[in-house]
């Protein structure tokens, strides 16, 4: 058995962990961070959750806060310019998946030859080189970006959401503090939570799954399946928030080493062309893609249903698989996940882009990890089904 497994060197996990950020930097020999975050974190003063403990330790930091919800190459280039303008010895990605993904991309492009663009690093290129140590501090329980060697950046010239993969995108360290998620809006809680479950499920059924990634995926599905509805219904449930945060990180470790599959491959073009939040577009697709894939990996889907609490331990595989699909559809309804049409996408615009979206989904490579590997026509059919 040959398994290569990749993870951050150090992870500080627990309520209140963010106050220990200065100590982590000290252990790593770092003292001059550039914090990559978003305008909302600055406007609401939430960025002080990380700047205050740094300043109390005498660490001078600067902030780049021009990130956008779905990261784009032009913002990455602006971040590179900001990083080059100071004598920084590390980057801290603070926020949801978008600031952390942006920080990863800045770090990769910062190490590149002059004139390089983000499109030069999209899959199948291995983006294995970064300029600075990166510490990821997530404020949502969903993307798992703090634990992965992936980032997704939109090319503004082509409207393609590019998957960029390699060790250059893997954070050196992460601070995983569930208390940072306590004030997250309900919509974000829902979208990121379904995103995390999708990571775990796709890692578990991926053709690249291995026993180590399976262990993380199984634990993640247990935690997320039992707590996703709870954090939606009772946002101040600290135990549920803690479980979701841990589940999201475990799911990140799982898919970073087993890869995601068809849901993510089809989700990225929806986000790029129609500006649907990533977790929401995953949720739109998840029941239909699971139905399409079910019989190609029935034992694994059935076990996923049991682990998540959607099926009973003694349910036969076919019944457990059916209950998984039913549960995913019910969660979408309860968490108010819209269809693309419900989100406001015009039918004519959707139909016109279906061939291009199918092409982009296949080009990402993720559909090739799916238990049932589709062709372009099958991807178009699923897109039509979910509209």
Q: What is the pLDDT of residue 264?
A: 97
Q: If DSSP codes are grouped into helix, strand and coil, which group holds residue 34? A: strand
The low-confidence residues of the chain, meaning pLDDT below 50, are none
DSSP 124-185: TSB----SS-EEEEESSSS--GGG-SEEEEEETTTTEEEEEESGGGS-SEEEE-GGGGTT--
Q: What is the pLDDT of residue 218?
A: 98
CA distance 177 to 64: 22
Q: Which residues of 112-124 are buried (b: 16+ CB within 10 A; e: fewer)?
A: beeeeebeebbbe
Q: What is the pLDDT of residue 2?
A: 80
Please, are residues 301 and 290 in contact by the beta-carbon 8 Å criterion? yes
Q: Is the dihedral of CA 356, 361, 362, 364 positive or negative?
A: positive
Q: Tell me the longest C-alpha to C-alpha distance in the chain.
A: 61
By CB atoms closer than 10 A (0-12, 13-18, 19+), residue 98 is buried
Q: What is the pLDDT of residues 142-201, one digit of tens each?
A: 899 999 999 999 999 998 889 999 999 999 999 999 999 999 999 999 999 999 999 999
How far from the centroid of its chain's Cα atoms is residue 273's Cα?
18
Q: What are the two backbone dihedrals, phi and then psi, of residue 35, each rounded to the nearest 5 degrees?
A: -90, 125
Listed residue (7, 1, 2) closest to 257, CA to CA: 7
CA distance 304 to 188: 24
Kind and range of the H or E element at 311?
A: none
Please, are residues 144 and 251 in contact by the beta-carbon 8 Å criterion? yes
Q: What is the pLDDT of residues 225-236, one digit of tens each?
A: 999 999 999 999
Q: What is the pLDDT of residue 116?
A: 95
CA distance 294 to 197: 16
Q: If DSSP codes are grouped into helix, strand and coil, which group holds residue 229? A: helix
Q: What is the pLDDT of residue 3?
A: 86
Using a cut of 0.85, tell me whether the model's pTM lies above it: yes
* Share of the chain residues as helix, strand and coil, in percent rounded to the nearest 5: 60, 10, 30
CA distance 59 to 30: 9
């Amino acid at each position: 058995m040959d398994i290569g497994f990749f993870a951050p060197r150090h992870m500080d996990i627990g309520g209140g962990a963010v106050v220990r950020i200065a100590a982590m930097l000290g252990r790593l020999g770092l003292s001059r961070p550039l914090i990559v975050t978003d305008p909302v974190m600055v406007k609401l003063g939430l960025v002080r959750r990380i700047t205050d403990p740094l300043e109390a330790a005498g660490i001078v930091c600067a902030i780049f806060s021009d990130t956008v919800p779905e990261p784009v190459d032009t913002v990455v280039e602006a971040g590179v310019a900001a990083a080059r303008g100071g004598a920084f010895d590390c980057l801290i990605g603070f926020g949801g998946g978008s600031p952390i993904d942006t920080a990863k991309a800045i770090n990769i492009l910062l190490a590149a030859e002059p004139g390089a663009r983000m499109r030069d690093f999209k899959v199948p290129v291995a983006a294995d080189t970064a300029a600075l140590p990166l510490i990821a501090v997530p404020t949502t329980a969903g993307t798992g970006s703090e634990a992965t060697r992936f980032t997704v950046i939109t090319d503004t010239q082509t409207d393609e959401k590019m998957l960029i993969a390699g060790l250059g995108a893997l954070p050196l360290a992460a601070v995983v503090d569930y208390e940072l998620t306590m004030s997250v809006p309900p919509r974000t809680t829902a979208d990121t939570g379904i995103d995390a479950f999708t990571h775990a499920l796709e890692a578990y059924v991926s053709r690249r799954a291995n026993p180590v990634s399976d262990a993380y995926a199984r634990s993640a599905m247990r935690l997320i399946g039992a707590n996703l509805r709870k954090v939606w219904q009772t946002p101040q449930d600290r135990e549920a928030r803690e479980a979701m945060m841990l589940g999201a990180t475990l799911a990140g470790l799982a898919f970073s080493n087993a890869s995601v599959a068809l849901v993510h491959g089809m989700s990225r073009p929806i986000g790029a062309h129609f500006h649907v939040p990533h977790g929401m577009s995953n949720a739109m697709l998840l029941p239909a893609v699971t139905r399409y894939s079910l019989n190609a990996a029935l034992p694994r889907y059935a076990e996923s249903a049991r682990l998540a609490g959607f099926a009973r331990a003694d349910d036969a595989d076919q019944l457990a698989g059916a209950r998984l699909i039913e549960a995913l559809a019910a969660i979408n309804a309860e968490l108010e996940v819209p269809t693309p049409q419900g989100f406001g996408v015009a039918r004519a615009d959707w139909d016109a882009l279906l061939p291009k979206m199918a092409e982009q989904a296949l080009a990402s490579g993720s559909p090739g990890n799916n238990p049932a590997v589709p062709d372009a026509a099958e991807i178009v059919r699923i897109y039509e089904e979910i509209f």
